[in-house]
Amino acid sequence: MNTVEHSVSFTALGTTAVLVVGDPAALDRAREILEDEVAAIDKACSRFRPDSELSVVNATPGRWVPISPQFAAAVDVALRAARLTDGAVDPTVGASMRVLGYDRDFAEVERDGPSVRVTVGRVPGWRLVELDPAGGRIRIPAGVELDLGATAKAWCADLAARRAADATGAGVLVSLGGDIAVSGPPPAGGWTIRVTDDHAAPAEAPGQTVAVTGGGLATSSTTVRAWDRGDARLHHVVDPSTGSPAAVWWRTVSVAAGSCVDANTASTAAVVLGREAPGWLERHGLPARLVAADGSVTVVGGWPVDGDAVGAAGAEVAGRDAASAEVREVASCSR
C-alpha cells in the first residue's frame, strides 16, 4: 500500500495493524480511534482470551447469556455473512478450529507437530445460533462453539476507518492483517495496494499493484496461517460442510467490495467454494483475483488484468455497488 509519512503500524489482534491518513494532522486522532476499536473487538470476540464475551458464550451452552451491543453486532455481522454465502462462511466452526490445532493465538501455534487423529464432520450450522439483540442476549446449543474470525477483524477495520474519517475529515486507510478498509477522500489516483500471498511480504514479492478509492479489499490465503500435523498440511479456512480445512484449490483469493467485511466474507467463501468460486463471484458482481495452487491467476468481475502497471495507471478496483454494504442479496450457488 502507499508508503507515505502519514502512517503508523503496530501489533494488534494477532497480526499487524497499519493506519495511513491523507493529512498528517489526523494521524494521532485516527490512531486513537483505531486502537479503541481494536481493543473493543478483542474484548468482545477473541477466542484466545478467557474473559472475552465469545469465550464466555462458548463456555455457557444451552443458556441465554447477556451480551454487549458490540458483541451482538459482531454476531449479527457473522450470521449475515453465513446467510449471504449459503453457509460457506459459518461462525459455528469454532470446535473444528480447536481440534485441528488452532486453539491459541497463531503466533503460539506449533507449526510442525505430530499426527493427530480427530473426528470431524459438518459443523453444527449458523441457524442454531439464537441472537436477541433487542434483549442483549444470545444462546447457543451444546456442541456449538463460535468463531468470528472470518468477519470480526474486517468489520473492525470498517468501523475504525469510518470513525477516523468522520472525526478528522481526512482520507483514511486501515489494514488489519491485510484486511483493508478505506474511508474519506482518497489520494489522487486512489490508495495503491500491493496484493500478494502474504500481507507482510516485501513490495517486490510476486503479486499485483492495484488502487482502491472506496470500500474494502481483502485477501484470504491457505498458505500463511498454515501448520503441519504429521504428513497433513492444515490451514485456517474451514469448510463448514466437512469441518476440515478447505481443499486447496486456490492459494489466495483477493476480493474488492463495498466494505472490508464484505470483501473478506467473499474471499473466504471463494476459498471454500473452490472451482465454483469464479462463477459465484461473477454472479455477485465482485472484482476478484484468484491464485491457484500452481500459481496460475484468474481474474473476474472487472479486476484489472495489466499486472503491476495497473497501480501506476491508477486503475480503480471497487465493487459495482461500492457504496453498498451488501455483498448482494441474491441466491447463492449450490454447494
pLDDT at site 114: 56
Find the DSSP H helices in the chain.
Answer: 27-45, 53-58, 69-84, 94-99, 152-168, 260-273, 277-283, 309-312
pLDDT at site 41: 95
* Number of structural domains in the chain: 1
Closest Cα partner for 290 from 252, 248, 236? 252
Buried b / exposed e over 285-308, threshold 16 CB at 10 Å, is bbbbbbbeeeeebebbbbbbeeee
**Sequence letter at residue 250:** W
pLDDT at site 34: 97
pLDDT at site 55: 96
Whether the CB-CB separation of 108 and 152 falls below 8 Å is answered with no
CATH number of the domain that 240 lies in? 3.10.520.10
pLDDT at site 222: 78
**Sequence letter at residue 190:** G
d(CA 150, CA 240): 12
Closest Cα partner for 18 from 204, 152, 164, 149? 164
Cα 11 from chain centroid (whole Å):
17
pLDDT at site 199: 54
pLDDT at site 244: 77
- The set of residues, in sequence order, having a beta carbon less than 8 Å from that of 51 and lying 6+ positions away, is 43
DSSP secondary structure code for residue 24 in this structure = G
**Cell matching residue 189:** 489516483
Whether the CB-CB separation of 37 and 56 falls below 8 Å is answered with no
Closest Cα partner for 325 from 279, 278, 265? 265
Domain that holds residue 51: 1-335
**Sequence letter at residue 160:** A
DSSP secondary structure code for residue 247 in this structure = P
pLDDT at site 79: 97
pLDDT averaged per 10 residues in sequence order, the chain, 335 residues: 69 88 96 97 92 97 98 98 95 81 45 53 88 97 94 97 98 94 93 76 72 93 59 67 80 94 96 95 94 92 64 38 35 31
